[in-house]
Amino acid sequence: MLLTGLLFVGVNAGVKLVGDGVPAVQSAFLRYFLGLVFFLPILTSLLRPALSAQIWALLGVRSLVHALGVAFWFYAMTQLPLIEVTAMGYLGPIFITVGAALFLGERLRARRIVAIVAGLVGAWVILRPGFREISGGHLAMLVNVVAFSASYLIAKRLSGALPAAVTVAYLSVGVAIALAPMALAVWVPPTPWQLFLLFMVAAFATAGHYTMTLAFAAAPISVTQPVTFLQLVWATLLGLMMFAEPIDPWVLAGGAIIIAAVSFISLREAQLRRRSLTPPADATKM
């Protein structure tokens, strides 16, 4: 998970270096299009005809929703400091928890509701509406978080039907197809340097998802989740050293509140999962 965090910060740095020299939707398209090379080894798995109409529908909806989120994220990266993009991205688990209750029938107990409220307070501290201007970049990140949360919930529905690698590969192909028309509409010929940066973004993102999968397989989420929050540290240092972005203490404070809320949800879920798997103390005597 430590390596995963560094790889994802590398993704952020690459996108930041590309900047607004390439339209956001075109950068997003090139990231996924160039990243398809990493899925060539499992290309035959994508050609299986045994998928049901419902699975195809879920794959299609997820690709569209994820494409929307990616396009807005690339735009936010050109408008906001790294620390703000990273901190607001931590709202994902909060929205996922709410979405799971609304659409997957999961129960929202009092502790989870308190954690959700705390996460929203953290978002308010970052945005501070009424005390500073809310930019298009902030709104783009909010759309991104909602879209990525919806994508995650659909992925959860697909998890029992498709292997993880195949699901990710379908997502990459679907997002590239969904973004292609929008990218062509605003196409600007990229320089070789910009293409190289976007290819490295694709490589870092693919490697990051792979190492994250390895971490989830090796340790419980109560161990892996807190490590992901080091991304806020890396993003802060990177923004300061590479892009001369000032450190906003309000963003750090809001990010810390969101991190505390998400950590509580993660630890609580891990405890409940252990409780459902661990037999009672007298079970061996029965």
For residue range 15-72, list pLDDT tens digits in order. 989 988 899 999 999 999 998 888 777 767 666 657 788 888 999 999 999 999 999 9
220 three-class SS: coil
Tell which wins on pLDDT, 156 or 31. Answer: 31
In a domain, 214, yes or no: yes
State what percent of residues in the chain have pLDDT above 70: 86
Provide mean pLDDT across the span 177-192.
94
In a domain, 195, yes or no: yes
Reply yes or no on whether the pLDDT at 179 is more than 50.
Answer: yes
Token pair of 28 as six digits: 């997003």
Tell which wins on pLDDT, 80 or 68. Answer: 68
| Confidence (pLDDT) at 21 | 86
Token pair of 233 as six digits: 């540290």
| Confidence (pLDDT) at 197 | 93
| Confidence (pLDDT) at 259 | 82
Cα(197)–Cα(79) distance, integer angstroms: 18
**Domain containing 12: what range?**
2-278
Residue from 56, 35, 72, 38 nearest 176 by CA:
35
In a domain, 283, yes or no: no
| Confidence (pLDDT) at 47 | 65
* Side-chain half-sphere CA neighbours of 164 within 13 A: 9
Confidence of residue 280 (pLDDT cuts 50, 70, 90): very low
Is there a contact between 183 and 29 (Cβ–Cβ < 8 Å)? Answer: yes
Residue from 32, 17, 15 nearest 74 by CA:
15
Tell which wins on pLDDT, 255 or 227. Answer: 255
pTM assigned to the model? 0.80
Residue-wise DSSP of 14-61: HHHHHGGGS-HHHHHHHHHHHHGGGGGGGHHHHT-S---HHHHHHHHH
In a domain, 200, yes or no: yes
Contact residues for 192 (Cβ-Cβ < 8 A; gap 6+):
none
| Confidence (pLDDT) at 203 | 92
Provide mean pLDDT across the span 159-169.
76
CA 23 distance to own-chain centroid:
21
In a domain, 109, yes or no: yes
Q: What is the DSSP letter of 278?
A: S
Highest mean pLDDT among 55-59, 233-237, 239-243: 55-59
Reply yes or no on whether the pLDDT at 278 is more than 60.
Answer: no
Which segment of 84-88, 107-111, 267-271 scores lowest on mean pLDDT?
Answer: 267-271
Reply yes or no on whether the pLDDT at 223 is more than 90.
Answer: no
State what percent of residues in the chain have pLDDT above 90: 24
Cα(85)–Cα(129) distance, integer angstroms: 17
Cα(236)–Cα(232) distance, integer angstroms: 6
In a domain, 285, yes or no: no
Provide mean pLDDT across the span 75-83.
88
CA 49 distance to own-chain centroid:
29
Residue from 156, 101, 112 nearest 263 by CA:
112
In a domain, 286, yes or no: no
Q: Summarize pLDDT for 102-138 with one digit per residue, the tens.
A: 877 777 777 778 888 888 888 888 888 766 778 888 9
In a domain, 17, yes or no: yes
The tally of domains found in the chain comes to: 1
Q: What is the mean pLDDT of the chain?
A: 82
